Structure formats: structure tokens, C-alpha cells
Chain A
Amino acid sequence: MRIYSRPRFATGRVHSIVGLAPIGDIMELERHSPHAQRDVARRAIEQKLEERLYTRHAAVEDLLWLVNRALAGALPAAVCGEGTP
């Protein structure tokens, strides 16, 4: 998975930080550092887990909505005395 597009690197590469190196080279270097690699590696599993959690939350919300709707339907009947023998 790529974080930065090539054109952005290409633009950055022409500028330089005095005494160091062209910005593009520094960014390229950082992109390949172990820390950056860990971030990229982490992304897919975190995304998958987040999607599963979102799906689960959505399912619970749907269930709550259905329960609320069922209760809302039953409540006026009880208040109006229609359910009493």
C-alpha cells in the first residue's frame, strides 16, 4: 500500500533543506525506514478490524431501532386501554 503518490515525491525532490538533502530524498528515506514500514503494515489489519467493529455496531443499532419501533407500536395501545380485558 502506498501512502504518497510519486508526483508528490517528484515535486519535493527539486527543493532542498540546507545542509541535508533534497526533501524528496529525505521523505523517500523515511518512507523506507523501519518505523514507516511498521505503520504501513499495521494499516490493513486495523482497517479490517475497524470494518468488523463498524458492522457490528451497525447491526446493534438496527436491532435497537427495531426494538424501539416495536415498543413504540405497543405503547399507545396500552395507554389507550385497548389491551385491557
Chain B
Amino acid sequence: MRIDCEVHAFRREARRAAPIIDGSLEELDGAARDCAITGLVLVQPSFLNGDPTELFAQASQARMPVRLIPPLVQPLALEVLEEWGRSGAAGLALTLEDPDPLAESLEAALQLGLHLEVSGGVEGREHLAELLLADGHRLVFRGFGLADSASDPAWDSRLERLLTLAQGAEVWVKLSGVGRVPDGWAQAAAGRMLEALGPEQLLWGSDWPHVTAAHAYAPSYAQTLEWLEKLVPDKDARERILGETSAALYGFRSATSRPAPA
């Protein structure tokens, strides 16, 4: 199984700002299949804010195995999260900006086995992340786990702290953000992460379709995989990231990795 851990699915009508493109699962499914991707993780796109209705509606159209990451932006009852879990949610997307009101929902998420997908970086929130880990949460950091790509990964103390936090812990870092982060920076950061964490704690997300890029659908789905090849040149490590690591975390039934067709 080869899994893309971050895609966005939405109807054309759900777009309110340019570019108005079709992000339907049918479109996405076709592009992924052409690249031998066999499982998708649908993450709520930020332009849909906190309402997961569209996310669940799109997931019901899926023809390949999918898992969902709906947003947690307000306190939710255990019953709601339980329902989400039954509908395919494997985790919750949130930022650690203002987590106080979410304390009880986070406890419920822990009981239900939903992991937390953190965007906006971990910097300044390391202690909270440590406490969440000690409490039993599993954390996924999206977009390399950093708020920006302003510093050289070789000297970035934020990256150092992230790696220290992640080593040996229930932490995964998502290599995502193609088109948003400079290629050279992404390669250097991925190299450091591979060295420190190995492919067992790394995930890949195409972020497809790209709605913030200058051109809709750019880069193409195939180009996002080429980007991953540059970030992780070792084929075995790459297949492990796409396969076993992702399947185990998101609970896809087949946890065995099959190599891509030549």
C-alpha cells in the first residue's frame, strides 16, 4: 500500500476565492491512482474553516481507502468525536495557538485513539507538546513541523528542538508543503529528519490539489511525488514512508508496503 497523508477534497462550489477549481475526490482519486497511490488521508483544507461537513461528504464518495483528519477548532463532545471516528476519522487537525478551551476534547480524543495533527509549527509550544506526549497523545506535525522555512536547517535551533522532542516519542513529521517551501530548504530539512528520526517517523503529503499556487493544480500530482524522491533519494526509505509508516499510523488494513510499478 502507498499512502498520501495529506490531500484536500472539496466541491468546486465550496470554493469562494480564486482559483475556483474542482477538488472532488473523483479528480483526486484518478491523479493518485496514476501514480500508484492506493490510500488517501483527507485533511480539512483551511479555506473550509472549522466545518467538516464537506470533508465527510467527499469521503463518502471515495473509491480507494481513505482516512479523515477533521478540524478541532472548538470544544466538541465525546459523542461527536466518537461519531467522527466511526465515519473514518483517524485524527484531529489543530493548532497549539489557543488550546485551553480544547482540553476536554483532547482528553476525549485520547480515549478514542484519535491522534493530533498540529499545524503552524511546534516552536514555543515544546513544553505543551511534551505534556501531551506524556499524557499518551500521538502527535503529527504538518509542514515539516515548523512555522516557516526562514532559517537554514543546518543551524535552525527550532528544528533541533523538534527533533529532540520527536526522537523515540510518538511523533511523526509530515514532509509536505511542495511549492510553499524552497526545494533546497526542504531537501536539507528532510535530510536532517531522516538522519535523526528515520523513515519510521516521517510521512508524506502531496497537499493536492494546490489552491494557493499561482496556477490551479500546479504542481501536478506526479510532480509532488518527484519532489518526495528528491527529499528522500533512498528508495527503501521512501517506500517505508509511503507504506508501512503511514499504514500503521492511520490504521489502513494492509500495513505491508508494495513497491511501485517500474
CB distance from A30 to the nearest CB of B (A): 16
Q: Mark B206-234, 1 if CB is under 8 A from A, else 0.
A: 00000000000000000000000000000
Is A53 a contact partner of B131 (Cβ separation < 8 A)? yes
In B102-149, which residues have CB < 8 Å from any A CB? 102-103, 106, 124-125, 127-128, 131-132, 134-135
Contacts of A42 in B (CB 8 A): 99-100, 125, 127-128
Contacts of B98 in A (CB 8 A): 38, 41
Residue from A41, A44, A49 in contact with B131 in the complex, judged by beta carbons closer than 8 Å: A49
Contacts of A41 in B (CB 8 A): 97-100
**Residue of B with least CB distance to A40:** B100
Q: Check A52 for interface membership: any CB of B closer than 8 A.
A: yes
Is B100 a contact partner of A53 (Cβ separation < 8 A)? no
Q: How far is the CA of A46 from the CA of B106 in the complex (A)?
A: 12
Q: Mark A36-62, 1 if CB is under 8 A from B, else 0.
A: 001001101110111011000000000
Main secondary structure of the interface of A (DSSP, over half): helix
Is B124 a contact partner of A46 (Cβ separation < 8 A)? no
**Residue of B with least CB distance to A48:** B103
Contacts of A50 in B (CB 8 A): 131
CB distance from A20 to the nearest CB of B (A): 26
Do A46 and B135 form a contact, CB below 8 Å, given A38-B97, A41-B98, A41-B100?
A: no
Which of A38, A42, A50 has the most B CB atoms < 10 Å from its CB?
A42
Do A53 and B124 form a contact, CB below 8 Å, given A42-B99, A45-B100, A48-B103?
A: no
Contacts of A45 in B (CB 8 A): 99-100, 102-103, 106, 128
**Residue of B with least CB distance to A49:** B131
CB distance from A37 to the nearest CB of B (A): 9
In B54-108, which residues have CB < 8 Å from any A CB? 97-100, 102-103, 106
Is B97 a contact partner of A46 (Cβ separation < 8 A)? no
Do A46 and B127 form a contact, CB below 8 Å, given A38-B97, A41-B98, A41-B100?
A: yes
Contacts of A52 in B (CB 8 A): 135
Is B103 a contact partner of A53 (Cβ separation < 8 A)? no
Residue from B100, B125, B127, B135 in contact with A44 in the complex, judged by beta carbons closer than 8 Å: B100
Q: What are 25 A-B interface contacts by the 8 Å CB criterion?
A: A38-B97, A38-B98, A38-B124, A41-B97, A41-B98, A41-B99, A41-B100, A42-B99, A42-B100, A42-B125, A42-B127, A42-B128, A44-B100, A45-B99, A45-B100, A45-B106, A45-B128, A46-B131, A49-B128, A49-B132, A49-B134, A49-B135, A50-B131, A53-B134, A53-B135
Q: Which 5 A-B pairs have the closest CB atoms?
A: A49-B131, A44-B100, A45-B103, A45-B99, A45-B100
